[in-house]
Amino acid sequence: MKWVASILAVLASFAALIPLTASAQGQRDPLIAPSSGEKGSRFQIVGETGWIPGEPVTIELAFTMSDPLTYAGPFPYRQQVTVLRDGTWSFPIVLTDDLGLPLGSQPGFIVVRATSPSKTAQNAFVYTVGGRAVAGAEAIADLGFGPEVGDPTVPLTAALFALGAGGLLLTSGAMRRRALTRSGW
């Protein structure tokens, strides 16, 4: 009966961690890396999940100084890519005047919208000027450019490892006790 209580204690301790990490913001799709830069900067736009292989994806870019996650248009820059067999796609961008965006002396956001027949996703790149970012850029950046601290993979892996290690310890202890009992100790 002690081993059942031990397993339940281990499970309860790791179950308490899961809501803390799951409530933190994860990454937004499409992923943008790096999350900020100036004119001449290069960044990569990557669609990682939920895209159907072979579908065309239209990448649209726009510049705004307001909330980029609710921006609805217009989008002066447009390109197409195709989703790869593994359900991902990637598109590099260099911030130049050729994009048709009003990149000037004002910091703001480059809104990135990716649309396919089955999915639409929107994220933003923080456009800086002389190291200055528009007010509120920190909050937008915290919404998920790349893997975040809130990713539950690490605690879940640790929980499975602890559960497996605990199970092996309990099993070997029980087998050892049985062997000692049979030998007369």
Which three-class secondary structure string do you get for the chain? CHHHHHHHHHHHHHHHHHHHHHCCCCCCCCEEECCEECCCCEEEEEECCCCCCCCEEEEEEEEECCCCCCCCCCCCEEEEEECCCCCCEEEEEECCHHHCCCCCCCCEEEEEEEECCCCEEEEEEEECECCECCCCHHHHHCCCCCCCCCCCHHHHHHHHHHHHHHHHHHHHHHHHHHHHHHHCC
pLDDT on residue 101 = 85
Please say if the pLDDT value at position 122 is more than 80: yes
pLDDT at 55 over 50: yes
pLDDT band at 160 (very low <50, low <70, confident <90, very high): low
The yes-or-no verdict on residue 24 having pLDDT over 60 is no
Q: Which residue has the higher pLDDT, 48 or 12?
A: 48
Q: Averaged over 49-58, what is the pLDDT?
A: 93
Q: What integer best gives the mean pLDDT of the chain?
A: 77
Q: Is the pTM of this model over 0.85?
A: no
User: Pick the residue with more confidence: 85 or 25?
Assistant: 85
